[in-house]
Amino acid sequence: MLRYFFIAFILGGISIAVLAGFRGTHSALPEIQIFPDMKQQPRYDAQHESTFFADGSASRRPVAGTIPLGYTLPGSFLQAGAKNGTIQPTGFTNEPNYYNTGKFADVYGDGFPLDVTEALVKRGQERFNINCAVCHGKVGLANGITSQFGIAAIANLQDDRIRAMPDGQIFSTITNGKNTMGAYGPNIAVEDRWAIVAYVRTLQKSQSVKLADLPEAKQKEFQSKP
């Protein structure tokens, strides 16, 4: 009885080895893969030939106008507002300077590497309403639409903690994210991030301004209202 078991065991082992194939064995026939694990993919390796495309090349040219991720185009929206050559006219945005990181070495900086103009603030308002207001609210009170759906830990931008925060730290938070807030660096251009910081500062001032601090014409305008 035991003899028949060993015979069956040996024959079974040989059958499995034949069906599975020996590792490294070459065959003109396609492999039989029980668990392919993406070993055979319908793709071309870079710089290889292709019989599919008319030019015979597997690598395709980028779409006209394509730029690398993180590259600043010449003549972009706010470059004319650069201070003292702080902003490179073109280049990648991974340079370790204040404009691109919000830091001087390991310390958050304060102040703007762009001239804070009406155009800058207006641009910041537009970008803020598109990217930030959904959580922080139109005025930054953490009452955006997402707050009604259980999104926790939304920062109140009118809080004294945020008011005292260096401009570079706010820029860095927009770039890299914090807590439940994701990173917006890949989605928002560097100059637009600074525009948003400028608009956040404008929002903060708008909620705590005193009548005496307004221009005389604005004072009279508010005083004339019922």
Please report, for the domain that includes residue 85, its CATH number. Answer: 1.10.760.10
Highest mean pLDDT among 69-73, 87-91, 214-218: 214-218
Q: Give the Cα separation of 169 and 165 in Å (integer).
A: 7
For the whole prediction, is pTM greater than 0.85?
A: no
**What angle do helix axes 190-206 and 167-176 make, rounded to 10 degrees?**
130
Domain for residue 1, yes or no?
no
Mention every residue, 6+ apart, whose C-beta is less than 8 A from residue 71. Answer: 90, 91, 92, 93
Q: Are 168 and 110 in contact (CB under 8 A)?
A: yes
Number of independent structural domains in the chain: 1
Domain for residue 51, yes or no?
no
Residues 44-68, buried b or exposed e (16+ Cβ, 10 A)? Answer: beeeeeeeeeeeeebeeeeeeeeee
Other residues' Cβ atoms within 10 Å of the Cβ of residue 127: 20
Domain for residue 61, yes or no?
no
Q: Rounded mean pLDDT of 64-89? A: 59
Domain for residue 197, yes or no?
yes
Domain for residue 6, yes or no?
no
pLDDT digits (tens, 9 = 90+) for 168-225: 999 999 999 998 899 998 888 888 999 999 999 999 998 877 777 777 777 677 677 6
Is residue 19 scored above 80 in pLDDT? no
Q: How confident is the model at residue 84 (pLDDT cuts 50, 70, 90)?
A: very low
Q: Are 196 and 131 in contact (CB under 8 A)?
A: yes
Domain for residue 123, yes or no?
yes
Residue 126 belongs to domain spanning = 81-207
Domain for residue 16, yes or no?
no
